[in-house]
Structure 1
Amino acid sequence: MNRNIKKIAVLGSGVMGSRIACHFANIGVEVLLLDIVPNALLPAEEAKGLTLDSKIVRNRIVNQSLETAVKSNPSPLFSKSYVKRIKTGNFDDDLKQIAQVDWIIEVVVERLDVKKSVFERVEQFRKPGTLITSNTSGIPIHLMTEERSEDFKAHFCGTHFFNPPRYLQLLEIIPTSHTHKDVVTFLVEFGDKMLGKTVVLCKDTPAFIGNRIGVYSMLALTHLVEKLDLSVEEVDKYTGPAMGHPKSATFRTADVVGLDTLVNVAKGLEENAPDDEAKGVFQLPAFITKMVENKWLGEKTKKGFYEKVKDNKGGSDILSLNLKTMTFGPQEKVKSSTLEATKPVEDIRKRMKVYEQGTDKAAELFRAMHYPLFEYVSKRVPEITDDFFRIDDAMRAGFGWEIGPFEVWDALGVRETIEKIKTEEKRLPGQAGEVAQWVHDMLAAGNESFYKIENGIRHFYDIASKSYKPIPGTEELIVLDHIRDTKTIWKNSGVSIIDLGDGIINCEFHTKMNTIGGDVIEGLNKAIDLAEKEYRGLIISNDGKNFSAGANIGMIFMMAVEQDYEELNMAVRMFQNTAMRIRYSSIPVVAAPFQLTLGGGCEFSMHADFVQLHAETYMGLVEFGVGVIPGGGGSKEFALRASDEYREDQIVQNTLKDRFLTIGQAKVSTSAVEAFELGYLQQGKYAVTMNRARLLADAKTKALELAADGYIQPAPRDDIKVLGNQGLGIVYVGAASMHAGNYISEHDKKISEKLGWVMCGGNLSAPTEVSEQYLLDLERKAFLELCAERKTLERIQHMLTKGKPLRN
């Protein structure tokens, strides 16, 4: 059966329901969001003479929930305008409208009786064949279908979105024995390609996969606190980014999620998983019980493992909880020789080995938490999943781990680690130091790892067949990590050029934060040379955490401090020339940005023939923050785009003003959609990929399409209309008034005037058509002049040392 999701109904508008509704609106789906009718009037409603029958009252709960969601930060919407795709109503008046939708998602309170009551009402209006799913974090899915029709059961499934649904990648799909296979197949594919999720197929077991392993891992740490005499600060320092976990680590994460939520899942697991050999881990240590009694639940109660307080100077300070005295005090600095040893090791798998081999408390914790974890996850197969790789997927996508437990185990060595698991002294409740038999069987058959790469495709050890198989759904993906060793055709310290096959090559940055310096410029030009001679197209992308944080400002700072302006001029010219080569090469160039795409990364993307970008791309020209203007073609490009937008029937200065303010206010998009709204992307020259894992494959498809359509090298522009003094007057007056009102500093005013000079084409008496090179020369001159300013150097130095902009 072919399914097309045009409209959905979300039943329940709480924190999860409203945000699930927003994410479906993000992908263009029409949403009907419903909730209960209030049973009492608010004083303000009474004062207006409203009654319980007034529509505004009957829809108050749903409308307030949606309004709260839209105003939240970070936003659940790609663009605020997308809220128009969501219509609201209530269960009593509007439930009949679900007959017109393609998918019904129930997201009411986590109580089985309430959910079953809602489903009873849904069956009165739901048309046969309509998908129906329940979003739950742990209620057994099969219990929800009792007394429901056969058609309902066949099209019913559990769906567990992680909060916030837009940003957390995990989507667990939990079918019952009645769910049609084609329904499961559709939901998995839709979640992957349309919603951009890592979709994990789960069995209907307590807490499914993500929370079963994630909550075990977090509670295991709480039991180790006393054994290893650890402080809150130590745990969060040791279990953060160095270990491949999020910055919020363990206890900060608990504060954000809410300790009550963690405790509820733990209690549910203790009660509902009686055969779990490690169920003792789910019993709460005394300090957790005390915190719950004190209602120290985290951010929702303003106090948890941390407490934010006012300091003597009117600012704020964050105190930490002393787990021995149960009092709050100043945080202590944590030092660790093991963490220091891991800092230079960027490869997460190699870093795990360094971490494990340390001799201090951090390394002791690493071993004490991972060895029992390996034992635990091995024994959850086949209980919670037949395929262990789904556990790794769930931990990466739902809990932000860089690599999952089986991947960590592989990195440490499966066989040698088993012996260490047996001898680990810091045992957790119920665990014996013995891994599941299937792991021993795997090793006995000569298979030394859980994963391996064959022909650029990742395979996993399939327990049933006792052989390696490709991970389902990954055959069509392109993962640079899997082909870099065999497909690299050229590299230097900052770039690898990798053959993707079918005549397409990829230029990959691998500098720190993928910043752009001389090595990257050299690599990009080499990639274009190679592509023009031997290939059909070029992609610019990488497998890092961010596409690019922009130019290497440390290099710029050194040249400026030493007043080596001739060298700096040459470097900026090379940057500009590279951007222009991206625009005017003889082969199609596709940029595939994602996450941070700032400064030069944004400029290179703006000059590509096509931008295939991830939905979560934060793009911007942010050079004002370090005291300069965009110098790699960004200022020129915005002048060019403004020129293309000028029309005879409009006030052209307004178009220039919008472009000018985007740079002058260093606006960074909060999504790919907003990158278009801010002018960084052009209509018809970009497409959005929802799933980050598919970005490179989608970019390759686009490059091949451009090549197959008969790509013709464009000619540089010499018809760019600039306004000259007509525009400069507006820029100068605006900058002066902003400065007079203390909205910007004297140096901001100077930078604004330099940017205006470039975008208006300099001191021209009348609007004039100029060339791109004319504007690039103005741009470079202004950039160099600003680099000679002391206040610019102060800004660059502050960014290098503090990591945030200085407004001097």
Structure 2
Amino acid sequence: MSKRIIKKVAVIGSGIMGSGIACHFANIGVEVLLLDIVPRELNDAEKAKGLSLNDKEVRNRIVNSSFQSALKSKPSPIYHQKFADRITTGNLEDDISKVKDVDWIIEVVVERLDIKKQVFENLEKHRTPSTLITSNTSGIPIKFMNDGRSEDFQQHFCGTHFFNPARYLKLFEIIPGPKTTTEVLDFLNGYGEQYLGKTSVIAKDTPAFIGNRIGIFGIQSLFHQVKELGLTIEEVDKLTGPVIGRPKSATFRTVDVVGLDTLVHVANGIYENCPDDEAHKLFKLPDFINSMMENKWLGSKTGQGFYKKVKKDDGSSEILSLDLNTLEYRQKKSARFATLELTKTVDKVIDRFPILASGKDKAGDFYRKNFSAMFTYVSNRIPEITDNLYKIDDAMKAGFGWEHGPFQIWDAIGVDKGIDIMKAEGLEPAAWVNDMLDSGNKSFYTVKDGATYVYDFTTKTQEKIPGQDSFIILDNIRKTNEVFKNPGVVIEDIGDGILNCEFQSKMNTIGGDVLAGLNKAIDLAEKDFQGLVIGNQAANFSVGANIGMIFMMAVEQEYDELNMSIKYFQDTMMRMRYSSIPTISAPHGMTLGGGCELSLHADKIVAAAETYIGLVEFGVGVIPGGGGSKEMTLRAQDLFQKGDVELNILREHFLTIAMAKVSTSAYEAYDNNILQKGKDIVVVNKDRQIATAKAYAKLMAEQGYTQPIKRNDIKVLGKQALGLFLVGTDSMNASNYISEHDQKIANKLAYVMSGGDLSEPTNVSEQYLLDIEREAFLSLCTERKTLERIQHMLKTGKPLRN
């Protein structure tokens, strides 16, 4: 078998989806040719310019307009704006011949079979034999698109369904056509996981494939339940959001964002093409959905859907909710349920499901009805849409943002208990579920030797899920490989002489237990192991220091204790930097404040591409006090070269902190010198992150890691820099760009990063900078306005500008 390498792809169709896919290939370093149709008439701007239909500007107008619109969208489809240079635009008349030079052609045109077939006919005239060619269809059967194509085309053709937005949603469905070769399927499956950072799922060529078939069923089921149970849309969104591990947008807000017309299109397709589905009638749209479609209340794209944002008389905004009985908008109502109150102390979502399914109120009724309908439906889809139940769970987690798939939820409740709930609702599971129980298998999943096994209905045994060898799944090894545990961390032996320190605090905040755990991890690693990874697989790496603890100490004026706590944080960071073993930080998601400071002090950062990292302490009225201010000063001076304007380099690092800059991807963190080129790396697939970090720790140890020598050669600029900074902050305050308290914080930071009020540039030690950093931090904690900022953040989760 010849080795297949993807250097260049062509994306046909530049709409939201096409441009998003093009951007994601550019994200991973692939050259992209993005093509779309030629306009048939001039617009007003082109007429004013005197252009003709033959001008290139006109002929590429559609593709360029769509692409530029995508680049401006929020959240951004691209890791870094400079990556857009990897994308070349063109049109399907002048540039279609260029597809002969690409390794993969991806069709993303309108969801009409006749148009897709016409596009494929034109592409085949220019496509080089053996080139991959795939369709991003969300539901048109692949077999219909094959008609009339050559044997080589059909062998290399299949569906590759990205979910929108392509950068952020991990599901990558691969749908074989009648003649797609095994080599093509295996390649795409591996490429999606390793290079695109996706969860690859090979699906059968059935309507809506896996993700949309199950996901749209879930939403349609809710549409029918909402009136039956007398629930408001706010209540449904409360019940189907973060409490069960789903996105904050839950159900109705998600439909508004995606677009009601998009959901209706897929639901109608399933209704028309799945007449034998036992839940066929559920895919028929309820009356209120038809009315909303007629009114063009499609969600965000039309300004109103299930929710509507309006301006009040005082100029402020208000979100109204749709009353499904009257179809009139009204003020939002709060939603509270006793059953949900019982889960507030249960941190792990998976542990909440037995409580929710046993609720004695309307919420309990809702969950029993919802779970039983979903359990019945997914069990009946095997083997229709897939032979492997774990693929359904993977699809729902990666495509719809569920923390746990339906079979995992069923396991959490108990398979027997789930069947009891179903029977109480007049439902039955598929026969294979009872066969599973009769064969002695009491759950869909089991964990053995650090690997996940899943029930296979064909063999009636638990089989190891393929593809796990590239991953370290902490949930699977935590109990068997635990070396140490306290309330803040679990330290695991992840093999080959490497330890992992996993945070377990709320939002992975860094407090006393976490710092004690980090020190213990370093002690253990220095004594009996070769290296240490600091990583976890929660939603976020760490949102920073425990500001609640800081607030309490400051309010009680326990300044000696607060000083000791901050010094403990600093000393722990310095232990990470100067231990005798390599330390690797594996940040992902939100990595803020103290989480960022921790990463700055590791020997190497192995960051997930989706890492939002920055020093955000200004938002709570202080400067970075765990070594962050010191470290950015050090990093600035390490960039000083002969002839540089050193003040400009220091100023950029100062602004990174003073403006609380947070990267929108790990690649942007290189711009702020948070990640360092040539030292730190980025991995696209977060599932591989811990394994990659471990590999680097092992490599560094085997190459002969030497304990670093503490720095005392940090050049600080003294009054020269301090004067510039103070003039700058005074000017900004005078212009009302910053408040007086902002100025006070900035001046404290300026003092630290200048090295104090020194008369001339001087070399100082790290400890010198740490001491003045800590002094500045403590002094700010005595300020009333800083305490107001901390209190506001604790109450609302948002910064206060006072």
Alignment TM-score, normalising by the size of structure 1: 0.98
> In the TM superposition, what is the alpha-carbon distance from 1:680 to its structure 2 partner?
0.5
> 1:429 matched to which residue of 2?
none
> In the TM superposition, what is the alpha-carbon distance from 1:177 to its structure 2 partner?
2.3
| Residues in 1 aligned to 2:408 and 2:353: alpha-carbon distance in whole angstroms | 10
> 2:327 matched to which residue of 1?
326
> 1:293 matched to which residue of 2?
294
> 2:800 matched to which residue of 1?
806
> 2:170 matched to which residue of 1?
169
> 2:527 matched to which residue of 1?
533
**1:213-235 per-position Cα deviation (integer Å, ceiling 9, x unaligned):** 00000000111112111111111
Kindly report which structure 2 residues correspond to 1:280-359, keeping only aligned pairs within 5 A, or say none: 280-359=281-360
> In the TM superposition, what is the alpha-carbon distance from 1:239 to its structure 2 partner?
1.1
Q: 1:264 is paired with a residue of what secondary structure?
A: helix
> 1:185 matched to which residue of 2?
186
> In the TM superposition, what is the alpha-carbon distance from 1:326 to its structure 2 partner?
1.1
**Count, aligned residues:** 801
> 2:101 matched to which residue of 1?
100
> In the TM superposition, what is the alpha-carbon distance from 1:274 to its structure 2 partner?
1.3
Give 1:76's aligned amino acid: P
Give 2:542's aligned amino acid: S
Confirm or deny that 1:404 pairs with 2:398. no
| Residues in 2 aligned to 1:507 and 1:563: alpha-carbon distance in whole angstroms | 33
> 2:554 matched to which residue of 1?
560
Match of 1:441 among 435, 442, 445: 435
Kindly report which structure 2 residues correspond to 1:2-81, keeping only aligned pairs within 5 A, or say none: 2-81=3-82
> 2:130 matched to which residue of 1?
129
| Residues in 2 aligned to 1:599 and 1:183: alpha-carbon distance in whole angstroms | 45
| Residues in 2 aligned to 1:335 and 1:54: alpha-carbon distance in whole angstroms | 61
Q: 1:788 is paired with a residue of what secondary structure?
A: coil
**1:105-133 per-position Cα deviation (integer Å, ceiling 9, x unaligned):** 01011111111101100011110111101
| Residues in 1 aligned to 2:189 and 2:292: alpha-carbon distance in whole angstroms | 39
8 Å CA contact 2:508–2:542 kept in 1: the answer is yes
**1:272-295 per-position Cα deviation (integer Å, ceiling 9, x unaligned):** 111111110001111111111111
Kindly report which structure 2 residues correspond to 1:446-595, keeping only aligned pairs within 5 A, or say none: 446-595=440-589
> In the TM superposition, what is the alpha-carbon distance from 1:417 to its structure 2 partner?
1.9
| Residues in 1 aligned to 2:190 and 2:761: alpha-carbon distance in whole angstroms | 53
Gaps of 5+ in 1: 426-432
Q: 1:342 is paired with a residue of what secondary structure?
A: coil
Match of 1:764 among 758, 761, 767: 758
> 1:428 matched to which residue of 2?
none
> 1:377 matched to which residue of 2?
378
Stretches (4+) displaced over 6 A: none
| Residues in 1 aligned to 2:138 and 2:76: alpha-carbon distance in whole angstroms | 23
Cα RMSD after superposing both structures: 0.8
Give 1:95's aligned amino acid: I
Q: 1:602 is paired with a residue of what secondary structure?
A: helix
Give 1:700's aligned amino acid: K
Give 1:50's aligned amino acid: L
Match of 1:735 among 713, 729, 735: 729
| Residues in 2 aligned to 1:783 and 1:228: alpha-carbon distance in whole angstroms | 54
Q: 2:480 is paired with a residue of what secondary structure?
A: helix
| Residues in 2 aligned to 1:162 and 1:71: alpha-carbon distance in whole angstroms | 19
Kindly report which structure 2 residues correspond to 1:197-216, keeping only aligned pairs within 5 A, or say none: 197-216=198-217
Give 1:110's aligned amino acid: E
> 1:227 matched to which residue of 2?
228
| Residues in 1 aligned to 2:560 and 2:423: alpha-carbon distance in whole angstroms | 64
**1:330-388 per-position Cα deviation (integer Å, ceiling 9, x unaligned):** 01111100011111111222200010111111111111111011111001000000101
Worse-matched range after superposition: 182-191 or 463-472: 463-472
Give 2:100's aligned amino acid: A
Give 1:81's aligned amino acid: K
**1:755-780 per-position Cα deviation (integer Å, ceiling 9, x unaligned):** 01111100111111111111111111
| Residues in 2 aligned to 1:288 and 1:343: alpha-carbon distance in whole angstroms | 34
Kindly report which structure 2 residues correspond to 1:644-683, keeping only aligned pairs within 5 A, or say none: 644-683=638-677
**1:125-156 per-position Cα deviation (integer Å, ceiling 9, x unaligned):** 11011110100100101111111111111111
Give 1:180's aligned amino acid: T
| Residues in 2 aligned to 1:303 and 1:603: alpha-carbon distance in whole angstroms | 42
**1:437-488 per-position Cα deviation (integer Å, ceiling 9, x unaligned):** 1111110011000000001100001111111111111133111111111111
Q: 2:674 is paired with a residue of what secondary structure?
A: coil
| Residues in 2 aligned to 1:599 and 1:325: alpha-carbon distance in whole angstroms | 48
| Residues in 1 aligned to 2:186 and 2:115: alpha-carbon distance in whole angstroms | 28
| Residues in 2 aligned to 1:639 and 1:416: alpha-carbon distance in whole angstroms | 59
Confirm or deny that 1:139 pairs with 2:140. yes
| Residues in 2 aligned to 1:78 and 1:414: alpha-carbon distance in whole angstroms | 42
| Residues in 2 aligned to 1:401 and 1:676: alpha-carbon distance in whole angstroms | 31
Give 1:580's aligned amino acid: M
8 Å CA contact 2:453–2:464 kept in 1: the answer is yes
> In the TM superposition, what is the alpha-carbon distance from 1:637 to its structure 2 partner?
0.5
| Residues in 2 aligned to 1:597 and 1:342: alpha-carbon distance in whole angstroms | 27
| Residues in 2 aligned to 1:295 and 1:122: alpha-carbon distance in whole angstroms | 36
> In the TM superposition, what is the alpha-carbon distance from 1:416 to its structure 2 partner?
2.6
8 Å CA contact 2:581–2:705 kept in 1: the answer is yes
| Residues in 1 aligned to 2:480 and 2:244: alpha-carbon distance in whole angstroms | 28
> In the TM superposition, what is the alpha-carbon distance from 1:545 to its structure 2 partner?
1.1
Q: 1:749 is paired with a residue of what secondary structure?
A: helix
> 2:421 matched to which residue of 1?
420
> 2:627 matched to which residue of 1?
633
> In the TM superposition, what is the alpha-carbon distance from 1:420 to its structure 2 partner?
2.2
| Residues in 2 aligned to 1:31 and 1:730: alpha-carbon distance in whole angstroms | 45
| Residues in 1 aligned to 2:247 and 2:596: alpha-carbon distance in whole angstroms | 26
Give 1:204's aligned amino acid: D
| Residues in 2 aligned to 1:108 and 1:34: alpha-carbon distance in whole angstroms | 10
8 Å CA contact 2:146–2:177 kept in 1: the answer is no
> 1:430 matched to which residue of 2?
none
8 Å CA contact 2:23–2:78 kept in 1: the answer is yes
> 1:119 matched to which residue of 2?
120
Give 1:193's aligned amino acid: Q
Match of 2:611 among 599, 604, 617: 617
Q: 1:793 is paired with a residue of what secondary structure?
A: helix
| Residues in 1 aligned to 2:614 and 2:170: alpha-carbon distance in whole angstroms | 24
> 2:744 matched to which residue of 1?
750
| Residues in 1 aligned to 2:417 and 2:256: alpha-carbon distance in whole angstroms | 36
Give 2:38's aligned amino acid: V
> 1:600 matched to which residue of 2?
594
Q: 1:93 is paired with a residue of what secondary structure?
A: coil
Kindly report which structure 2 residues correspond to 1:683-702, keeping only aligned pairs within 5 A, or say none: 683-702=677-696
Q: 2:670 is paired with a residue of what secondary structure?
A: helix
| Residues in 2 aligned to 1:311 and 1:706: alpha-carbon distance in whole angstroms | 60
> 2:150 matched to which residue of 1?
149
Q: 1:396 is paired with a residue of what secondary structure?
A: helix
Kindly report which structure 2 residues correspond to 1:769-788, keeping only aligned pairs within 5 A, or say none: 769-788=763-782
Q: Percent identity?
A: 61
> In the TM superposition, what is the alpha-carbon distance from 1:70 to its structure 2 partner?
0.4
Give 1:340's aligned amino acid: E
**1:153-192 per-position Cα deviation (integer Å, ceiling 9, x unaligned):** 1111101100000001111000112111111111111110
Q: 2:70 is paired with a residue of what secondary structure?
A: helix
